[in-house]
Structure 1
Amino acid sequence: MEIMNAGMGETSYAKNSKVQLKVISMTMPIIEEAITNLYYNSTSPSSLVIADFGCSSGPNTLFAVSELIKVVEKLRRQQGQQSPEYQVFLNDLPENDFNVIFKLLPSFQKKFSSQLGVDAGSFFFSGVPGSFYGRLFPKKSLHFTFSSYSLHWLSQVPEHLENNKRSIYISSTSPPNVAKAYYAQFQKDFSMFLKSRAEELAVGGRMVLTFLGRKSEDPSTKECCYIWEVLAIALCDMVDKGLIGEEKLDSFNLPHYAPSASEVKSVVLMENYFSIDRLEVSELKWSSMFGERNFSEAVADLAMCVRAVVEPFLVSHFGDAIIEEVFRKYKEILAGSVCKESSSIMNVTISLTKRG
């Protein structure tokens, strides 16, 4: 699993998560549909327990939760019901920068309370550190859970990738065993996630999960691998310049897997804890992510988004001396190829209901 760049600085995740915010906004109709169905199938619940798995840090975390609560408030007013109390659990690894979230909470709660009105129920936020590839909550204690852009991060780098030379993920030049090892690790991790959530969700509870994924069944497709291929090329350039050793590069692989919709579905069906309400693949165009900025600014933004996500891995393995040069080269490669090689990213979203 992964920890993003902490704090609120120029290279922080909090300042460079435009893609993730766009994806949450794109998939919000599916989340709203799921919480609507949950509310209609409940008898005026007095409390609603929500968990965000892989919340990371920064304003995106509170955006998703606030949109959920607004939907419930609209529904209960239409029904003439009292507002429930909201318990919101924000989960990520212990190393996550929870302090950024906690510092945002007082002003957020004050502003949000005034938006909802005096008749809205109280809402309570808690940070829950720990891996979501295991139990985090008591049995049947949750009503609604979601995860956006977290479950494509694996619990560990797959084993036996020694022959994945000059590559940091699955690529067109990777031997067949590499894709098999990544898929096996994804199956193992996602199965554990589903099993854990099945114990924690109440019967009829809902869950919506969004992955960075792919439409193609080819795991090396540029739909999901392009941003990592560019990083591999930038790192190979560091090797060619003698700034890092070739063995050091060959021992570095990302703990990441972008699944296809059918791969997500097959694990859900195999575990059989949940019924599938919706399964969709959505496309996010690079051109839509950065507004009216010119090309060079958009490329710089995209490079910074990737840096905010992956820099901790690079520093841990290679040290921090090469980071500026790696991302200078990364930007240079993107500027020359992003329009030709890849114009969008794919997302897989699945909406689930806990079986009885």
Structure 2
Amino acid sequence: MIISFLLIVATAALAATFLVITSLSLSGMMSFADVSATWLPFWIGDMAGIIILSPLFFSCIQLAYPHKCFTILKHIEGQSNQPTAQFKYKILLSSCLIIVTMLLTKFTQSMDSSFAIFFLVLPHMWIACTETAFPNILSLALSSIFIVFLIDLLALMDFVMVYQYTINVVAANAMFAMAIPALIAHNHQLVTRVSTDSLTQAASREHLIEQGKFELQQAIQHNRDFSILVYDIDYFKNINDTYGHDVGDAALKMLSEIAKALLRPTDLLGRLGGDEFVVLLPNTDKATACNIANRLLEHVNGTEFVSGEAFSASIGITQMREGDDFNSIFKRADNALYAAKKAGRNCIRLN
């Protein structure tokens, strides 16, 4: 969207330049000989005006009529329009930088000194990466208006092209940087979706396996214990068939909340699929894992998913052995789970 906006700005400014200069030439207000020296400053100046003012106009219209008009702010990022508490200091820094660099140009009358204004990119990148869209757009407009004011006040018209280019460059960079908070937020949402099971809010299968491999590697490198607990709900298919999938889903969420409340901060609960869950137990030997499993089974047995109907679960446990990879340790825990089922369910087996 930002690339499209910048291309539209450049095209619109070029069209305006062509039409105005053509009109001036045809009406005799400008000689055709002056066109070659005039069109570029005209174009850059118009482009600076459009790139700065049009987002500000769109923003103001949207603020006045939030449900009827432009949605440019929503496309950039749908956050609050309120600036942070530090926004005024960022504006002050930008203003001081503009004053210092333009006074330097005034006293030196050097074209080289005028290029110091490009340092304005730095505070505006800071603003763009730490503020929401509207404060960014407002800060660009304020800086640009301040530059125009000082050009006239300090009689710096000989350097106006440098300042016009600066406004365009700073604004274009800020536009792209404005997308950073949105990208961070969207990436965070994506990571959360990928790593979290949407129903139970336990770790997803992919995240569980990835974290399991990592924890196993850590245990091997640091010579620590590592255990895995695998469990599922006994006769879960009967719950779905008898009471419906909504009750089954509620049961899965309920048991997930029970398990997470019992586990330590370093443990990880993940949903492997269906009603089967895995608990990663870093720095845990089989005796401690059995204690955790017994607490879990006790709380599961004490929970009713409907009036008069309590849960039961089968649990398999294993501890890391020499030469294990994640597949082997998980398979051993899964075999322990099936041993618990064969033993009559609602029990714990260690492999």
Provide the TM-score with structure 2 as the length reference: 0.25
Structure 1 or 2: more strand by fraction:
1
Larger Rg: 2
